[in-house]
């Protein structure tokens, strides 16, 4: 059947095409019929039809077939797009999405009959067969990654491969595919052999060489070869021969019992093999799709499994660790007063290695990046639907959709953005009538904007609606017990608006089914902070609101402050560290039996990490305090010693340990030991909530 990788490629492409269709429908609705858009939709539907049929998703194939037919008529000028038709089309798109969800594990049965009937209505009476231009177009989904006909290797051949691997050569399986109308196939095969012999050795072919020589094969044949060249070099070399459509080169691994005692699991090797296969298959797919498949938007890509990228990232992590070790070593030597050439050389190597790993890290980081359009692209449709429902007119402006973010962040940021967008439409932007009376343009503006700023990505969600009234927020906050009247009184407008992020607060005057889902702004802030981001709000009543989200570029490697506690090392993500200070015991005050310190006029709760983590800590008069959190929610954390800053690679604690309060992961240190990473957000939450009233009063 189909492997996970194949399914992955199928789903990726399905999502891509669904997006094309969705965009296309919106364009049809906004700008009317255009041949290019119709053609694009037609082609996307056609692609899905083909690949879903291969995968055996009959309903999806049937539905997209019907869509394809409809667009074929439109393309031929036999049908016109009407607004009623667009509604039906959106319905079909929704059904298609349901079918997609079912593929990924939804269990609801999807009934496609009603929508099929509606679509069919547009060309009822005309007999419609599996026919015409649809079938004549090449399928854009290649059958790449298949493995059924790969030659089995005999023991002797495996021995040769093993030998070759030991000598540092590579072994590959190569599938060569000739042009459909290739002449003198046997000579082509001969040429492939000829080229490969120049770069290595062909140890097996399927069909066997004698049959290849006689031309007794169809369009494809498989080879196993050893060579010192890379897979890509071989592939390019073979593709340099005329009338060869494709060459898929995948590395062969042999189980390694015989020559190494480490026990890297076979599963891992298979996974990486499969990943490279998918990558090749995907690359091939792009390469052999000259039929104008590439719409202007599409970037040429190779699909790489996330696992593989994660592995690469881990390897870079190892390098970073080694570099840190070397740094430390150089430092040690320098402090040893032995200032000679050796020390200079080592510092130089260390510097250079630092540069190289830095670059490598950047490159791999880039490979993990996805354009934020992956998230933004859902909004046009959603905004349209909600605005429709509420009778509002909204112009959605999207800027910087090509801005790239780490894929992990992309996965998480969707939810909070969705909430902010919903809020803006629901509560921010007024109805057309209201806007007219206020003398504002009838069409409201909602802007999504992303851009790169230093080491951050900034996302702005902005509307020109009614804005947030600080007085009303204060009032609501007092009512809900989020804050007491006295402190509300003293708050600046900015602080008052920030109250919307407090737990238990919701600005919704009336609960609508759109944003009144019990997900408050506190959850939005939480989600963003989970990925080491921050969110800020600016608003002027009557003019509009702006949410500014700042996100780190990646989650995998961060800078951290290393501290020691009971002889063990802990890491504080630097993004959440405000400063570090030394205090003496008599600076600690007691407020309501809790220890607090005053730093530049602010009262901060003090947490003794040793106590929290059940460790025995040294009794000292001077205490090292790490101040963590955001400007409005700070906590001082007492540790034994401050060690210094360093880059760390975040590793998960794994499913088995699960979530441990106060810890967000682990990292591997230069000496190979494991250090725990402190979950700063959780600590701040745990201790500011308890201390809220205290700090408000004392401040």
Binding site for other proteins (CB under 8 A): 183-184, 186-187, 190-191, 194, 239-243, 257, 261-263, 265, 314, 317-318, 566-569, 612-615, 651-657, 660-663, 666, 668-669, 671-676
What is the sign of the dihedral through the CA atoms of 416, 419, 421 and 424? negative
Comparison of 264 and 345: residue with beta carbon closer to other proteins:
264
Distance CA 610, CA 588 (A): 17
For other proteins, which is the closer residue by CB, 353 or 569?
Answer: 569
> Between residues 261 and 492, which has the closer beta carbon with respect to other proteins?
261
Say how many C-beta atoms besides its own lie within 10 A of residue 464's C-beta. Answer: 23
The active-site residue, picked from 69, 170, 373, 423, is 423
Within 10 A of 643 (CB to CB), how many other CB atoms are there? 15
Quote the least distance from Cβ 332 to other proteins, whole Å: 11
Pairwise CA distance, residues 518 & 535, whole Å: 19
Residue 68 is a catalytic residue: yes
Q: Which residue in 47, 60, 56 sits closest to 101, CA to CA?
A: 60
CB 250 within 8 A of CB 280: yes
- How far apart CA 86 and CA 89 sit, in angstroms, is 5
* Shorter beta-carbon distance to other proteins: residue 310 or 362: 310
Minimum separation from the CB atom of position 608 to other proteins (A): 13
The residue (of 109 and 656) whose beta carbon lies closer to other proteins is 656
Give yes or no for a contact between 502 and 476, defined as CB atoms under 8 angstroms apart.
no
Listed in sequence order, the residues at least 6 apart from 166 whose beta carbon sits closer than 8 Å to its beta carbon are 259
> What single DSSP character describes residue 482?
S
User: In whole angstroms, how close is the CB of 607 to other proteins at the nearest point?
Assistant: 13
Distance CA 338, CA 336 (A): 5
Which H/E stretch holds residue 460? strand 456-463
Catalytic residue among 5, 13, 40, 68: 68
CA–CA gap between residue 329 and residue 133 (Å, rounded)? 69
Residues whose CB falls within 8 Å of the CB of residue 484, separated by 6 or more in sequence, listed in order: 478, 696
Six-digit token string for 687: 């201790």
Cβ-based nearer residue to other proteins, 622 or 655: 655
DSSP string of 104-149?
A: TT--PPP--HHHHHHHHHTTTTS---S-HHHHHSPPSS--TT--TT
Pull the structure tokens for residue 170: 């590579």
Distance set, CA 622 to CA 329, 564, 565 (Å)? 30, 15, 15
Both tokens of 165, joined, read 């691997």
CB closer to other proteins, 480 vs 659: 659
Minimum CB–partner distance for residue 242 and other proteins (Å) = 4
Shortest Å, Cβ 676 to other proteins: 7
* C-alpha to C-alpha distances, 694 to 471, 490, 553, 604, 697, nearest whole angstrom: 24, 16, 36, 10, 5
- Known catalytic membership, residue 423: yes
Tokens of 257: 């019992």
Active-site pick, 6, 13, 46, 633: 46
Residues 6 or more apart whose CB falls under 8 angstroms from that of 348 comprise none
- Cβ-contact 445, 395 below 8 angstroms: yes
The three-class DSSP label of residue 244 is strand
* Residues whose CB falls within 8 Å of the CB of residue 347, separated by 6 or more in sequence, listed in order: 330, 334
Whether 419 is catalytic is no
The helix (run of H) or strand (run of E) holding residue 375 is: helix 373-376
Distance of CA 82 to the CA centre of its chain: 37
Task: Rank residues 346 and 425 by Cβ distance to other proteins and give the closer one.
Answer: 346
Residue 673: CB minimum distance to other proteins, A = 6
- Evaluate whether 218 touches 207 at the Cβ level (below 8 Å): no
In whole angstroms, how close is the CB of 370 to other proteins at the nearest point? Answer: 24
Residue from 161, 335, 315 nearest 253 by CA: 161
Smallest separation (angstroms) from other proteins to the CB of 245: 11
Which residue's CB is nearer to other proteins, number 21 or number 563?
563
Report cis status (omega within 30 of 0) of the bond before 524. no
Angle between helices 341-367 and 306-335 (to 10 degrees): 160
Half-sphere exposure of 553 (CA within 13 A, CB side): 20
Q: Which residue, among 8, 20, 27, has the nearest Cα to 67 in the 3D structure? A: 20
CA pair distance 141, 8, nearest whole angstrom: 13
Quick one: 86 or 241, whose CB is closer to other proteins?
A: 241
Write down the least CB distance from residue 263 to other proteins, Å: 5
**Smallest separation, CB 657 to other proteins (Å):** 5
Rank residues 279 and 571 by Cβ distance to other proteins and give the closer one. 571
Which CB, 265 or 337, lies closer to other proteins? 265
User: What span, in angstroms and rounded, lies between the C-alpha atoms of 667 and 572?
Assistant: 11
- CA dihedral (430, 436, 438, 443) in degrees, to 10, reads 50
The 8-class DSSP code of residue 217 comes to S
Q: Which is nearer to other proteins, 263 or 337 (CB)?
A: 263
Q: Which residues are catalytic?
A: 46, 68, 423
């Amino acid at each position: 059947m189909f492997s996970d990788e194949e399914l992955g490629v199928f789903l990726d492409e399905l999502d891509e095409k669904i997006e094309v269709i969705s965009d296309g429908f919106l364009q049809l609705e906004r700008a009317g019929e255009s041949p290019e858009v119709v053609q694009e939709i037609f082609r996307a539907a056609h692609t899905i039809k083909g690949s879903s049929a291969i995968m055996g998703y009959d309903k999806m194939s049937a539905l997209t077939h019907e869509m394809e037919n409809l667009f074929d008529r439109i393309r031929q000028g036999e049908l016109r797009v009407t607004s009623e038709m667009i509604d039906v089309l959106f319905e079909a798109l929704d059904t298609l999405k349901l079918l997609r969800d079912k593929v990924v594990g939804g269990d609801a049965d999807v009934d496609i009959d009603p929508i099929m009937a509606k679509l069919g209505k547009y060309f009822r009476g005309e007999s419609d067969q599996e026919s015409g231009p649809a079938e004549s177009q090449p399928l854009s989904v290649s059958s790449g990654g298949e493995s059924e006909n790969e030659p089995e290797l005999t023991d002797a051949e495996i021995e040769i491969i093993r030998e070759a691997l030991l000598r540092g050569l590579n072994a590959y399986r190569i599938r060569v595919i000739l042009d459909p109308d290739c002449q003198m196939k046997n000579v082509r095969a001969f040429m492939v052999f000829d080229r490969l012999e120049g770069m290595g050795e062909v140890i097996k072919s399927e069909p066997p060489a004698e049959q290849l020589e006689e031309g007794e094969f169809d369009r494809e044949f498989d080879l196993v070869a050893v060579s010192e060249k890379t897979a890509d070099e071989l592939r390019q070399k073979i593709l340099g021969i005329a009338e060869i459509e494709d060459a898929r080169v995948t590395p062969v691994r042999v189980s390694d019992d015989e020559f190494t005692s480490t026990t890297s699991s076979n599963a891992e090797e298979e996974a990486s093999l499969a990943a490279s296969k998918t990558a090749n298959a995907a690359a091939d797919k792009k390469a052999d799709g000259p039929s104008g498949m590439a719409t202007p938007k599409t970037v040429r890509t190779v699909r790489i499994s996330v696992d593989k990228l994660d592995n690469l990232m881990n390897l870079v992590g190892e390098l970073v660790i080694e570099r840190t070790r070397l740094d430390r070593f150089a430092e040690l030597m320098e402090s040893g007063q032995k200032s000679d050439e050796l020390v200079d050389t080592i510092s130089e190597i260390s510097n250079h290695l630092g540069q190289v790993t830095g670059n490598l890290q950047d490159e791999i980081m880039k490979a993990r990046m996805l354009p934020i359009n992956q998230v933004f692209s859902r909004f046009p449709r959603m905004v349209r639907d909600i605005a429709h429902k509420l009778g509002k007119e909204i112009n959605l402006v999207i800027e910087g959709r090509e801005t790239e973010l780490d894929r992990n962040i992309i996965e998480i940021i969707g939810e909070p953005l969705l909430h902010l967008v919903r809020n803006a439409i629901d509560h921010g932007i007024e109805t057309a009538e209201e806007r007219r009376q206020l003398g504002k343009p009838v069409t409201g503006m909602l802007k999504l904007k992303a851009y790169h700023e230093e080491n951050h990505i900034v996302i702005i969600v902005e509307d020109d609606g009614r804005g947030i009234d600080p007085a009303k927020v204060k009032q609501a906050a007092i009512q809900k017990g989020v804050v007491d009247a006295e402190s509300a009184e003293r708050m600046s407008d900015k602080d008052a608006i920030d109250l919307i992020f407090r737990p238990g607060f919701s600005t919704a005057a009336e609960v609508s089914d759109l944003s009144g889902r019990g997900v408050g702004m506190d959850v939005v802030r939480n989600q963003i902070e989970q990925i080491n981001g921050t969110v800020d709000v600016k608003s002027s009543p009557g003019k509009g609101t702006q949410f500014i989200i700042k996100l780190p570029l990646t989650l995998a490697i961060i800078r951290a402050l290393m501290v020691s506690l009971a002889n063990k090392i802990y890491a504080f993500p630097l993004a959440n560290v405000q400063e570090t200070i030394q205090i003496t015991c008599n600076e600690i005050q007691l407020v309501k039996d809790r220890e607090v310190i005053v730093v530049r006029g602010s009262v901060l709760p003090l947490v003794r990490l040793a106590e929290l983590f059940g460790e025995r800590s040294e009794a000292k008069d001077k205490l090292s305090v790490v101040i963590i959190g955001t400007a409005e929610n700070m906590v001082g954390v007492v540790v034994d010693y401050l060690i210094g800053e360093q880059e760390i690679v975040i590793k998960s604690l794994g499913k088995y340990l699960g979530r441990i309060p106060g810890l967000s992961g682990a990292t591997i240190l230069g000496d190979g030991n494991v250090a725990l990473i402190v979950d700063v957000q959780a600590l701040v939450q745990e201790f500011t909530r308890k201390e809220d009233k205290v700090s408000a009063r004392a401040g």
